[in-house]
Amino acid sequence: MNFDSFVLAAATATLEDEPTARPHADAVEFRMDLAAAPLSALDDYDGDLPIIATNRDPAEGGEAAADETDRLAVIEAASAHDAVVAVDIELSSLRGSAGAEAAAAARDHGASTVASVHDFEGTPDESRLSDLLAAAADHGEVGKLAVTATDRADALALLSATQTATARGDRVATMAMGEAGRHTRAVAPCYGSKIGYAPVDPAEATAPGQYDLATLANLLDRLGVRPADD
């Protein structure tokens, strides 16, 4: 998966959600850090949707093992599965040797890397947003930035940074968490964001302010981000 076109990912901790996600999603984001036996689940997976494998760092909102080496080893093992077309690795990890090695191993298996940054405290100024997106895009096939919006100005800054990054040729995925930024999940793709995330079940949201999958798919269809017959 090269992410040249927008990808809507169904975020879930269980691959058993894939049949329900299939009518709406282009991929499954498998939150391995929230699953009991993630590698076994991948071994048993026979769904149609490709997988973005995530083993989120506790420092960025996840529940993976605190040991960095162990956490990245799970990502590396996941990338060997045929269904896994991309892995999500935090930019902070990719800047170290262990993260860089995990990304290289994933690419050897044909999987792309989503280099991610999460800010649960707020939204940096637009200059900092642009710098973070540039750095993330430099370390991965897609640079992902999720911030927390406290007002519409934060959301606007993120959308502007998204357009700027896209104009310079970077593949990025952006979203503002929280109610003030909720609409960015639908409109950020209009400014170039390449990946959107939504839970199949709204009760199982993996980030603040997420729409459920069916709702976000409908909004994206109506905005013309995805063909209506997807």
Active site residues: 118, 144
> Can you point out the beta strands (E) in 22-65?
27-31, 51-54
Residue type at 17?
A: D
Cβ neighbors of 194 (< 8 A, separation 6 or more) are 3, 4, 5, 6, 7, 142, 171, 172, 173
Which residues 6+ apart lie within 8 Å of 14 measured at CB?
A: 35, 41
Under DSSP, the state recorded for 88 is: E
Residue 147's beta-bridge partner residues? 176
